[in-house]
Amino acid sequence: TLAHISLLTDQTGYSFGAVGVLQDITELRKLDQLRRDFVANVSHELRTPLTSVQGYVEAMLDRAIPGEDQDKYLTIIHRETLRLKKLIYDLLDLSRIESRKERWDMNEIDVPELVDQVLVKLRPLIKKQQVTVDRYFPDQLPPMLGNEDRIEQVLVNLLDNAVKFSCPGGKVTVRAQAQDDNITVSIADQGPGIPPEDLEHIWERFHRVEKSRSRALGGTGLGLAIARQIVEAHGGKVSVQSEAGQGSTFSFTMKTVPAEI
Ligand code: ADP
């Protein structure tokens, strides 16, 4: 706690009182710590791929890599460069969404149609992971109110994780249901699940259950943070349920398009 105390004096210098201001700076300090953690995380995330690119390029310039291995190293350099690019784009995107300065057009979103569109995009990954995706939508599902491009991004991030963290032969299930003027989309997988101690932090930037596994899978650690910011900027809510070893279910709830009167 920070305290400022001033004595109140009259023209003759006689003190007739005092004013004290107490300010609770726990919140400020917490914010400052969060900001510092974020900068440290970003620096680390940027440095890791850069260091490996630098190392491989230097080895090649030193002619330390035999001709037949060159493609292998160039492939690594290329992969790390793409990671850096994705990381920077994701960071810029996140800060744009968080600042709430963007104006989004609101669309009537046909959820089953948008899910199918996303599944087409993810087809190569789904095939590679040998995952099957089931979809269940009620017949009379009302449209969702939101910015279609941004909601597509939420679906991509959640579905990409569900498929990425699935075991070969696993199943991912997408559902949507409407209640009152809310519509909830959920994505369930049969992957490794998330331990209880990670569950409440999972939507934070760069929080990962297993850092090495996530990086090996090409993740930036920002996908869930971006999804959450997009949903919350619409006034919606995200949630997650999971038990280690039992798979995970990520959901988000948004408003439906109001029925015409
Ligand atoms: P990443 O780019 O690492 O996937 P995300 O923000 O999308 O970043 O996810 C953060 C972390 O949450 C992941 O690294 C992983 O540890 C965990 N996670 C996300 N989705 C799942 C899932 N469907 N099953 C298990 N763990 C998950």
Distance 206 CA to ligand 1 centre (A): 9
Which distant-in-sequence residues (6+ apart) come within 8 Å of 151 by Cβ? Answer: 109, 114, 144, 230, 234, 254
Q: Is 222 in the pocket of ligand 1 (CB under 6 A)?
A: yes
- How does strand 171-179 pair with strand 132-136? parallel
Where the chain has pLDDT below 70, the residues are 1-2, 212-216, 261
Contact between 165 and 124 under an 8 Å Cβ cutoff? The reply is no
pLDDT tens by residue, 50-85: 999 999 999 999 988 888 899 999 999 999 999 999
Surface-to-core class of residue 49, CB atoms within 10 Å of its CB (0-12 exposed, 13-18 middle, 19+ buried): buried
Q: Is 214 in the pocket of ligand 1 (CB under 6 A)?
A: yes
- How does strand 2-9 pair with strand 15-23? antiparallel
Atom of ligand 1 nearest to the CA of 219: 2
State which of 41, 84, 161, 243 you would mutate to test the pocket of ligand 1, scoring each by most atoms of that ligand within 8 A of its C-beta.
Answer: 161
Q: Is 121 in the pocket of ligand 1 (CB under 6 A)?
A: no
Q: Is 190 in the pocket of ligand 1 (CB under 6 A)?
A: no
Which protein residue's CA is at the shortest distance from atom 21 of ligand 1? Answer: 161
Distance 113 CA to ligand 1 centre (A): 25
Distance 28 CA to ligand 1 centre (A): 29
Distance 22 CA to ligand 1 centre (A): 42
Q: What DSSP string describes 43-66?
A: HHHHHHHHHHHHHHHHHHHTT-S-
pLDDT number for residue 209? 87
- Indicate if the alpha-carbon torsion angle 65, 68, 69, 70 is positive or negative: positive
Surface-to-core class of residue 158, CB atoms within 10 Å of its CB (0-12 exposed, 13-18 middle, 19+ buried): buried
pLDDT number for residue 24? 77
Q: Is 191 in the pocket of ligand 1 (CB under 6 A)?
A: yes
Q: Is 224 in the pocket of ligand 1 (CB under 6 A)?
A: yes
Distance 20 CA to ligand 1 centre (A): 48
Phi and psi (nearest 5°) for 188? -110, 140
> Cα(198)–Cα(42) distance, rounded to whole angstroms?
20
Atom of ligand 1 nearest to the CA of 209: 16
Helix (H, G, I), strand (E, B) or coil at 158: helix
Task: Classify the complex by whether its ipTM is higher than 0.85, answering yes or no.
Answer: yes
pLDDT tens by residue, 163-195: 999 999 999 999 999 999 999 999 999 999 999
Angle at 201 between CA 195 and CA 203, to 5 degrees: 110
Phi and psi (nearest 5°) for 228? -65, -45
pLDDT number for residue 261? 64
Which distant-in-sequence residues (6+ apart) come within 8 Å of 3 by Cβ? Answer: 20, 21, 22, 23
pLDDT number for residue 214? 65
pLDDT number for residue 212? 67
Helix (H, G, I), strand (E, B) or coil at 10: coil
Q: Is 220 in the pocket of ligand 1 (CB under 6 A)?
A: yes
pLDDT number for residue 131? 97
Q: Give the predicted TM-score (pTM) of the model.
A: 0.86
Q: Is 154 in the pocket of ligand 1 (CB under 6 A)?
A: no
Structure tokens, 7: 């004595």
Helix (H, G, I), strand (E, B) or coil at 37: helix
